[in-house]
Structure 1
Amino acid sequence: MTVIAPAAGTPRVLIVDDESGMLDSLRILLKSEGFAPFTAHGGRQGIDTIDTLQPDIVLTDVRMPDVTGVQVLSHARQVDADLPVILMTAQATLQSAMQAVNEGAFYYIQKPFRNDELVAILRRAAEHRRLRVENHSLKEEIRRRDTCASGRPVGRSKSWMEVLRLAEMVAPTDSTVLITGESGTGKEVIARYIHELSARVDRSFLSINCGALPESLLESELFGHVKGAFTGAVKDKTGLFPAADRGTFFLDEIGETTPATQVKLLRVLQQREVIPVGATEPIAVNTRVLAATNRDLEEEIKRGAFRADLFYRLNVIAMHLPPLRQRAEDIPLLAASFLARSAEQRGEPQKVLAEDALEALLAYRWPGNVRELENALERAVILSSGNTIHVDALPERVTVRCAEPLVSERTPDTPTLEAIERAYIQWVLHTEGGNKSRAADLLGIDPSTLYRKLARYGDA
């Protein structure tokens, strides 16, 4: 059937019946009453048309030889729970009417019916549909607004804001995204943020660490298996790809997968189907894939450890997360966020950082990135008796400074502007005996600016 777009705001009504005469008469009636009628001959064609047309209302006969109207109703409810379905029958009984209502029918009308009676029911169904769609749109707008206002991953540095802007741009699409960055930079946080802003938000977000499982177990988890596929497979198992159907699947540390697994992942991305371990028939999946790695996959391709074709399938949208040492200005915000969450979980007043503790956090290089910062603050909350966290509550690795000299006699042959600035700051700190407050005054900058520069340089 050819689908012709109706005028804006005109309700699409799909008429399903196995009698051509009934289809023609209803089509003429509905068109004259301002509806956009479409017809399907029989229940099977009706089910197929629901998927392609996406109607606003379904009007279906109950008794049809191939697929019944109740089956059409059931399918319509699976596709769209808010889709009003009106059942028509020449043999109405109380039992069949109750079944229709229990199945979720909008109305149950007995043949023969008056034209004005049917049109009135259709108008009520159209109004019901309009209100449900508007309500859903309003809720979605509120959710998106609230997510952007309060659910945004924490940070205000330029590099982090660029990551968030890209995430918000790609979220409404179904494009595959490859998220790269060091361990602990928040790759899964960004993946969840993309899912929360997508049209798939009401469906599952599933994730797996590809490096945490051996190859045989990983394939079973990803694709599922059938009973008897291997020793211990005592029953069929649904894989995570089918389980995430119409949702989002996050493949963390995808660079750890073996070549054999990479071939199967490539098939999923190309064919949108999986074959469970031990099975012969593929299963279609509609799953958005987000992947992450802390490896340089292009280098892995050169070494022969990662497939180039899979990389290009994954790298449709590339996002690189900066390490925490390159966005030190986000540390106070992240710390406040972690402390607020800890207080809420523990049911206690929120603790605050003393100046010496914040100074230590800003000066540390954070090789474990945001995850390490969170763990350090969790420890500090436990070890601090009062409401203020001092430097002595932080882990020793954060507070013990590197013995690297403040001033080095060796300079590059062709120093950069940053190298000159760094050397000058080191010299001022040296002349002021390492006192950062006096050094900041002499340099003419705010102490927090000095802390950020030192954190970026990795100097203590």
Structure 2
Amino acid sequence: MDPTFSLAVVVDDDPDISLAARLALRDMFERIEALPSPAELLPFLKRESPDAILLDLNFERAATDGREGLDTLARIMKVDPDAAVVIITAHGAVSVAVEAIKRGASDFVAKPWSNERLAATVRSAAALRQSKIDARVERSRASELAHGAETPLLGEAAAMQRVRSLIERAAPTDANVVILGENGTGKEIVAREVHRLSRRSAEPMVSIDLGATSETLFESELFGHVKGAFTGAAGERIGRLKAADHSSLFLDEVGNLPLHLQPKLLTALEQRQVVPVGSNRPVPIDVRVIAATNMSQDQLADETRFRQDLLFRLNTIEIHLPPLRERREDIPLLLDHYLGIYARKYDRPLRQIPPATLETLMHHDWPGNVRALRHAAERAVIMADGDHYGLEDFPLPGRAGAPAVAIPQTTLNLDQLEKQMIERALRMHHFNISLAASELGLSRGALYRRMEKHGL
């Protein structure tokens, strides 16, 4: 089973305690670091961003008041207000642990602990931290859209005009929508446009990326759970279907929904109610579903991969987003748009693209579609130093003379090696996240986290 989170840090001067914590949490984290004192933690936090921190309260010999731990907690929260800090305390110091929670700690565990209790506490703390980060990313993405960092459906090709026409006709209704298209074509932008033009636009659209969600969490994410429904369910949680009540729910990469869960989603949509995990009481919902997938129509028609009754329920309206290679006439417009955005972002001069360079860019197949073009435009703005953009400023895989994504023999920096390997896998599989993750031996969620870490 893939680890759920990337990094945990245990700060305790007792090596036996650190070892016990590492053994109890090793299946949950890809990496666990043990530090013997708070003095080593703060420099560590300047280099790393752990998903969870286990912090002892007392380090000085005979100290019992927890002052050193509370002071360290204050410094942690100043560096990272979203930090998930779980306090390690003795039974007699519970009152100090409660004080730590008031000051920002997520929870505490008392020594000696049960491994199940420790794992559940740390998992809840790390999940809460991830939820805060996801919410901030979602707000940032919405802000970018509002300020024009993304222009919905930019392009004048006939295929894009058909897409706009479908959106304008479908959006004001409550019909469910399925958006088909390759990775990077802009399916989420279309979903947001459908929601923006709908009668539900007063409420925020709720999203879930089913391609980046662990299979063990699918049911809880979609339907919610009650306290005690499973190990780690320390409290009640509202699922995404209920969170989207009176709004739109965007199911990204819906083709990744496991076959055994598809009937439950179908039942929820047909009966307009959900039953949280661990509960017998249905909860009513009023949701419009907008789903997206990079699966082809033939793949969706395969009963062994996707239930046809669920597909029938989801695709009242079907919108096909064309790949960029099928609307090459839009490439100059897209380049002009993104080069302008990144020139302003990085305070660089506006440069022209010579006709010969533009011709080459228009004939490139852009396997990563608009997303790849956007990344290429950003790189060009950063790298260009002449009066005009040159072809060498744009990374085009497969082009003779293009910069190779190879690992230099002299590079020994692990972060740099990891970034280069991820870039290589993404380009090798034309930015298909599932294939790149498989090539690297990672889950989709783990690859997404690493891509975010390296700014990819």
What's the TM-score, normalizing by structure 2? 0.53
Are 1:383 and 2:383 counterparts? yes
Mapped to 1, the partners of 2:386 and 2:171 lie a distance apart of 42
Contact 1:360 1:398 in 2 (8 A): no
Q: Spell out the pairing of 1:267-286 with structure 2 (5 A cutoff).
A: 267-286=267-286
Are 1:178 and 2:178 counterparts? yes
Report what 1:317 is aligned to: 317
Contact 1:297 1:311 in 2 (8 A): no
Are 1:220 and 2:220 counterparts? yes
Superposition misfits of 4+ residues, deviation over 4 angstroms:
none
Per-residue deviation, 1:388: 2.9
Contact 1:178 1:315 in 2 (8 A): yes
Are 1:262 and 2:265 counterparts? no
Contact 1:255 1:293 in 2 (8 A): yes
Mapped to 2, the partners of 1:271 and 1:347 lie a distance apart of 53
Q: 1:234 to 1:352 in 2, by over 3 A?
A: farther
Number of paired residues? 256
Say which SS state the counterpart of residue 389 (structure 1) adopts: coil
Q: Once structures 1 and 2 are overlaid, which stretch shifts more, 166-175 or 208-217?
A: 208-217
Say which SS state the counterpart of residue 359 (structure 2) adopts: helix
Are 1:253 and 2:263 counterparts? no
Per-residue deviation, 1:300: 4.2
Mapped to 2, the partners of 1:152 and 1:293 lie a distance apart of 18
Per-residue deviation, 1:310: 0.2
Letter in 2 for 1:345: K
Mapped to 2, the partners of 1:263 and 1:298 lie a distance apart of 20
Letter in 2 for 1:368: G
Are 1:365 and 2:382 counterparts? no
Say which SS state the counterpart of residue 155 (structure 1) adopts: coil
Report what 1:206 is aligned to: 206
Q: 1:228 to 1:333 in 2, by over 3 A?
A: same
Q: 1:396 to 1:299 in 2, by over 3 A?
A: closer
Are 1:340 and 2:343 counterparts? no
Say which SS state the counterpart of residue 260 (structure 2) adopts: helix
Are 1:330 and 2:330 counterparts? yes
Q: 1:391 to 1:308 in 2, by over 3 A?
A: same
Greater CA radius of gyration, 1 or 2? 1
Deviations 1:211-265 (A, max 9, x none): 2122221221111111111111101111111111111111111111111221121
Say which SS state the counterpart of residue 353 (structure 1) adopts: coil
Letter in 1 for 2:185: T
Structure 1, unmatched stretches of 5+, are 1-145, 403-460
Mapped to 2, the partners of 1:349 and 1:295 lie a distance apart of 40
Contact 2:225 2:238 in 1 (8 A): yes
Mapped to 2, the partners of 1:198 and 1:224 lie a distance apart of 26
Mapped to 2, the partners of 1:303 and 1:288 lie a distance apart of 24
Contact 2:348 2:381 in 1 (8 A): no
Contact 2:153 2:160 in 1 (8 A): no
Letter in 2 for 1:388: H
Contact 1:360 1:399 in 2 (8 A): no
Say which SS state the counterpart of residue 179 (structure 2) adopts: strand
Report what 1:438 is aligned to: none
Mapped to 2, the partners of 1:192 and 1:398 lie a distance apart of 33
Letter in 1 for 2:294: N
Report what 1:95 is aligned to: none
Indicate the percent of aligned positions where both proteins have the same amino acid.
44
Deviations 1:344-389 (A, max 9, x none): 3334444432333312211101111111111111111111124632
Contact 1:339 1:352 in 2 (8 A): no
Mapped to 1, the partners of 2:203 and 2:388 lie a distance apart of 42
Letter in 1 for 2:313: R
Mapped to 2, the partners of 1:229 and 1:199 lie a distance apart of 35
Are 1:241 and 2:221 counterparts? no
Report what 1:356 is aligned to: 356
Per-residue deviation, 1:151: 5.7
Letter in 1 for 2:242: P
Deviations 1:93-140 (A, max 9, x none): xxxxxxxxxxxxxxxxxxxxxxxxxxxxxxxxxxxxxxxxxxxxxxxx
Mapped to 1, the partners of 2:199 and 2:347 lie a distance apart of 35
Mapped to 2, the partners of 1:338 and 1:287 lie a distance apart of 34
Mapped to 1, the partners of 2:281 and 2:341 lie a distance apart of 47
Mapped to 2, the partners of 1:201 and 1:389 lie a distance apart of 40
Contact 1:215 1:261 in 2 (8 A): no
Per-residue deviation, 1:282: 1.2
Mapped to 2, the partners of 1:241 and 1:396 lie a distance apart of 40
Q: Spell out the pairing of 1:280-319 with structure 2 (5 A cutoff).
A: 280-319=280-319
Q: Once structures 1 and 2 are overlaid, which stretch shifts more, 291-300 or 331-340?
A: 291-300
Contact 1:180 1:321 in 2 (8 A): yes
Q: Spell out the pairing of 1:28-177 with structure 2 (5 A cutoff).
A: 152-177=152-177
Letter in 2 for 1:373: L
Contact 1:364 1:398 in 2 (8 A): no
Say which SS state the counterpart of residue 361 (structure 2) adopts: helix
Report what 1:137 is aligned to: none
What's the TM-score, normalizing by structure 1? 0.52
